[in-house]
Amino acid sequence: MPSIIGKEVGHTGYGLMRMTWVPQPPPTEQCFETLNTTLELGSNFWNAGELYGTPDYNSLHLLNKYFTQYPEKASQVVLSIKGGLKVGALIPDGSEANIRRSVDECLRLLDGKKSIDIFECARQDPSTTVEQTVTILAQIVKEGKIGGIGLSEVDGATIRRAAKVHPIAAVEVELSLWDTHIFDNDVIKACAELDIPLVAYSPLGRGVFSGSFTNASTLPEGDIRRHLPRFQDEAMEQNVKLVKEVQSLAERKGFAATQIALGWVLSLNGRPGMPTIIPIPGGTTSDKVRQNLQAPRLSDADMAEIEEILQRHELVGQRYG
Q: Domains of the chain: which residue ranges?
A: 3-207+269-296
CB 226 within 8 A of CB 219: yes
pLDDT value, residue 228: 73
pLDDT value, residue 220: 64
Q: How far is CA 200 from CA 143, 173, 181, 204, 234, in A?
A: 29, 5, 12, 10, 27
Least confident of 160-169, 217-226, 293-302, 311-320: 217-226
pLDDT value, residue 226: 63
Average pLDDT, the chain: 93
pLDDT value, residue 316: 62
* Closest to 57 (Cα-Cα) out of 15, 95, 78, 28: 28
Tell me the per-residue pLDDT of 80-126, one tens digit each, with 9 for 90 and over. 999 999 998 899 999 999 999 999 999 999 999 999 999 999 999 99
Dihedral (CA of 186, 192, 194, 200) sign: positive
More confidently predicted of 162 and 210? 162
Is 52 marked active-site?
yes
What is the spatial distance between Cα 79 and Cα 50, in angstroms, rounded to a whole number? 13
Catalytic member of 52, 66, 70, 201: 52
Q: What is the pTM of this model?
A: 0.94
* Closest to 16 (Cα-Cα) out of 57, 53, 46, 43: 46
Pick the CATH number of 3-207+269-296 from 3.20.20.100, 3.30.465.10, 3.40.50.300, 3.90.1150.10: 3.20.20.100
Number of H helices, E strands in the chain: 11, 12
Percent of the chain with pLDDT over 90: 80
pLDDT at 215 over 90: no
Q: What's at 33, amino acid-wise?
A: E
pLDDT value, residue 185: 86
